[in-house]
Amino acid sequence: MLVLLDRDGVLNVNREDYVKAPSELVMLPGSAAAVARLNANGHRVAVCTNQSVVGRGIIGEERLAEIHGRLQQELARAGARLDALFHAPDPPWAASDRRKPGPGMLREAMARLRRGAEPVLFIGDSLSDLQAAHAAGCARVLVRTGHGATVQGRGIPPELLPVRVLESLADAVERLLAEAPA
Ligand SMILES: [Mg+2]
């Protein structure tokens, strides 16, 4: 299976003022170990993240690459790795189809990493994640970390269902592997 992950609120703690430096990247409990479990079970894992912090001119692409270097380090400490990391730098006022809720970035990931017609699962914490995944034809999990509990509380729009709601990435991976071990 191909597992696509949102970044902020799924792998690391969401910051309303954006992750602007490597030191601001704080992993959520168990998230790196969850990616390691997916790796060990033969699933490919990629991140698809909106980073309007770049398009808004708050940080540049070089700084974002440093932040992602830190993310890879944090993952590696748990024996985990990403098969790819995609980001959409667009600001919301000039959003391309790659910026979620558009499906472009997810389609790019699927074109590069999907094997045949295998299932693709998107795990995110925002409504825009669910919308992008729905538009790209991916199965959808909402985690209650980050914005997830708020999104759940407001009610998931019926056209985006089915959506599984789980506590965290660690919880989602545990259940996923129990259901589809390899
Ligand atoms: Mg998020």
| pLDDT tens, residue by residue, 23-34 | 999 999 999 999
Provide the pLDDT confidence category of residue 182 given band limits of 50, 70 and 90: low
**Residue 175 pLDDT > 70:** yes
pLDDT at 181: 56
Sheet with 139-143: strands ordered across: 84-88, 44-50, 2-5, 120-124, 139-143, 164-166
Give the residue numbers marked as catalytic: 6, 8
Residue 164 makes CB contacts below 8 A (sequence gap 6+) with: 140, 141, 142, 172
Mean pLDDT of 113-126: 97
CA 177 / ligand 1 centre spacing (Å) = 23
pLDDT at 180: 74
Q: Which of 44, 83, 42, 35 is nearest to 182 (CA)?
A: 42
Mean pLDDT of 124-128: 98
- Portion of the chain with pLDDT greater than 90, in percent: 98
CA 8 / ligand 1 centre spacing (Å) = 4
Neighbours of ion ligand 1 (CB under 5 A): 6, 8-9, 125-126, 146
Domains belonging to the chain, first-starting first, are 6-118+165-171 (3.40.50.1000)
Note whether 107 and 86 are within 8 A (CB).
Answer: no
CA 147 / ligand 1 centre spacing (Å) = 7
CA 182 / ligand 1 centre spacing (Å) = 27
